[in-house]
Amino acid sequence: MSKHAVMPTIATIERRVVACRKCPELRAYCAEIGRVKKRAFLDQEYWSRPVPGWGDPQARVVLVGLAPGAHGSNRTGRVFTGDGSGEWLYRALHRAGFASQPNASHRDDGLTLRDTFITAAVRCAPPANKPTPEQRANCAPYLREEFAALRNVRVVVTLGKIADDAVHALVKEIGTYGSPRGPFAHLAETVVDLPGRAGVTLLASYHPSRQNTNTGVLTEPMLDAVFERARSLLGPSPPKEI
């Protein structure tokens, strides 16, 4: 981006994401999921489009997930909304003071985020939650634009290894490392410098997927520890009540 280019806003990026057709195979897959539906949601109209990030445009904490769930975000149109992963995530965000309520069921459920923005490495639900390298590359520019627009970011929480890899790929493209990147691990930290923002902490977390939460790989205290650490990295002052 040249120094004279106009910085895209979060609203502009959202519109671009929703209109994206870079991966025809994912567009067809998401549309088919929305046509067939899950028995529990037969009376609902599925979103079935790419899912944009959402939250506070002035956020200091940015969460990056993997991709929409076929019957979660692909149904509701809001990231981490309407499935088991979101149930775990928003409860933890609420306990940490980053979310106004502990549940997220649909786009108009009254939930608001404070000092937090949530996005994903891939914006369409992929089969078996396994996006291809090409699909991940097609979505990378949206993450780059969001990081450019979120000028106050101080902490980036990566939810799962695919998200962690996507964020580190972005750092290699636009930033520099203030501390070496270690292997992906829960609560692993890396300090990086992004354009105009020095000393940003990348904080890794296991993804709150059913596969991890049902098996004890990720527990609620473990997820709480992530946001407690994020809060401590922001400084001593707690957020105002939402």
pLDDT in tens, 118-138: 999 999 999 999 999 999 999
Give 24-63 pLDDT, tens digit per residue: 999 999 999 999 999 999 999 999 999 999 999 999 999 9
For CA atoms 226, 232, 233, 237, give the dihedral sign.
positive
- Would the pLDDT of 194 be above 90? yes
pLDDT of residue 239: 45
Q: Which helix (H) or strand (E) holds 86?
A: helix 84-95
- Would the pLDDT of 77 be above 50? yes
Cα gap 44→107, rounded to integer Å? 13
pLDDT confidence bin for 167, thresholds 50/70/90: very high
pLDDT of residue 236: 64
**What DSSP state is assigned to residue 102?**
S
The alpha carbon of residue 24 and the mean position of all alpha carbons in its chain are separated, in whole angstroms, by 22
pLDDT of residue 48: 98
Domain boundaries, the chain: 10-234
Give 12-34 pLDDT, tens digit per residue: 999 999 999 999 999 999 999 99
Name which residue leads in pLDDT, 186 or 3: 186
- Architecture of the domain defined by 10-234: 3-Layer(aba) Sandwich (3.40)
Q: Report which of 94, 89, 55 is spatially closest to residue 69, judged by C-alpha positions.
A: 89
Contact 197, 205 (CB under 8 A): no
